[in-house]
Amino acid sequence: MLAKSITENMIVPLNKQEAIDAIFLHSATQSFLLLQEGIPREILFRYLHSKQSTTVTDIKVCEADELTCQFTNWFYSVLNQHDMYHQGTQLGVQHFWQNCKMQFVLNYEMGPKTEEKNRAADVVQLICNNKIQHNLFFNPNLENKGIHGRINKFGVFTIMALGTLHQQDKYIGVMQFGSVYIPDS
pLDDT of residue 51: 61
Decide if pLDDT at 103 tops 70. yes
> How high is the mean pLDDT of the chain?
77
Mean pLDDT of 99-108: 86
Q: Which amino acid is at 175?
A: M
Indicate the DSSP class of residue 38: T
Domain boundaries, the chain: 2-50, 61-181
- Between strands 102-108 and 111-117, the pairing is antiparallel
pLDDT at 126: 92
pLDDT band of residue 169 (cuts 50, 70, 90) is: confident
Q: Give the pLDDT confidence score for residue 52 in this predicted structure.
A: 59
Highest mean pLDDT among 2-6, 19-23, 38-42, 70-74: 70-74
Among 171, 177, 172, 161, residue whose Cα is nearest residue 107:
172
Q: Given this model, what pLDDT does residue 58 score?
A: 47
Once rounded to an integer, what is the mean pLDDT over residues 144-161? 79
pLDDT at 85: 56
The whole-number pLDDT of residue 36 equals: 57
Q: Of 154, 159, 10, which Cα lies nearest the Cα of 74?
A: 159
| 85-117 core/surface letters (b: 16 or more CB in 10 A; e: else) | eeeeebbeeebbeeebebeeeeeeeeeeeeeeb
Across 9-37, average pLDDT: 70
Q: Could you tell me which CATH class the domain 61-181 is placed in?
A: alpha beta
Work out the percent of the chain whose per-residue pLDDT is above 70.
66
* CA 148 to each of CA 5, 106, 177: distance values in angstroms, whole numbers, following the listed order: 28, 22, 11
Q: Select from 185, 181, 182, 184 the least CA-distant residue to 72.
A: 181
> pTM of the prediction?
0.61
Contacts of 29 (CB under 8 A, 6+ apart): 56, 58, 59, 60, 63
**Res. 185: pLDDT tops 50:** no
